[in-house]
């Protein structure tokens, strides 16, 4: 069902785990759908210095998570935002058709983490102008 590269990433996922003092956190999917991922990033000088993922899901969900971290690590934020779900699937040599929707969320997760980082930056720079208080 899966390509050898997908299975390789599933067997040996890259950058699995959590960055405790992350600069940005992205969460996509939900457990009701069976697929959920959390991406944590560390940013230095506009570059993704470190990135880690946690994923609940099938083989494709794990492999795309692993692949997106590999593609994004060391990139400028704007470059990282260019990565699409399709590009991740392509980099893995393709996914079975039924996996293209539910399990192919990794780039969305990365984007959510970068947006979270930028939001925090804005709030940090202008704390008095930030109306919503973040609990996390």
Residues that bind another protein (CB under 8 A): 7, 10-11, 13, 16, 27, 30-38, 54-62, 98-99, 101-103
Nearest CB to another protein, comparing residues 27 and 123:
27
Euclidean distance between CA atoms 89 and 94, whole angstroms = 5
Q: Are 37 and 50 in contact (CB under 8 A)?
A: no
Q: Nearest approach, Cβ of 63 to another protein (angstroms)?
A: 10
Nearest CB to another protein, comparing residues 60 and 68:
60
Instruction: Look up 33 and say whether it is catalytic.
Output: yes
Residue of 11, 17, 33, 74 marked catalytic: 33
Nearest CB to another protein, comparing residues 37 and 67:
37
Q: Nearest approach, Cβ of 58 to another protein (angstroms)?
A: 4
Residue of 10, 77, 102, 119 marked catalytic: 102
Instruction: Please state the φ and ψ torsions of residue 131, each to the nearest 5 degrees.
Output: -75, -35
Instruction: Look up 58 and say whether it is catalytic.
Output: no
Residues 6+ apart with CB under 8 A from 80: 48, 72, 110, 114
Distances (CA, A) of 33 to 29, 79, 132: 7, 30, 29
Q: Which residues are catalytic?
A: 33, 102
């Amino acid at each position: 069902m899966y390509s050898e590269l997908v299975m390789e990433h599933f067997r040996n996922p890259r950058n699995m785990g959590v960055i405790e003092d992350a600069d940005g956190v992205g969460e996509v999917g939900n457990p009701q759908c069976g697929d959920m991922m959390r991406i944590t990033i560390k940013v230095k000088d506009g570059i993704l210095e470190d990135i880690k993922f946690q994923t609940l899901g099938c083989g494709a969900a794990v492999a795309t998570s692993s692949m997106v971290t590999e593609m994004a690590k060391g990139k400028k934020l704007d470059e990282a935002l260019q990565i699409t779900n399709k590009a991740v699937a392509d980099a893995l040599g393709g996914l079975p058709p039924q996996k293209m929707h539910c399990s192919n969320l990794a780039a969305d997760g990365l984007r959510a983490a970068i947006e979270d980082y930028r939001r925090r930056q804005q709030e940090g720079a202008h704390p008095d102008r930030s109306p919503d208080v973040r609990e996390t």
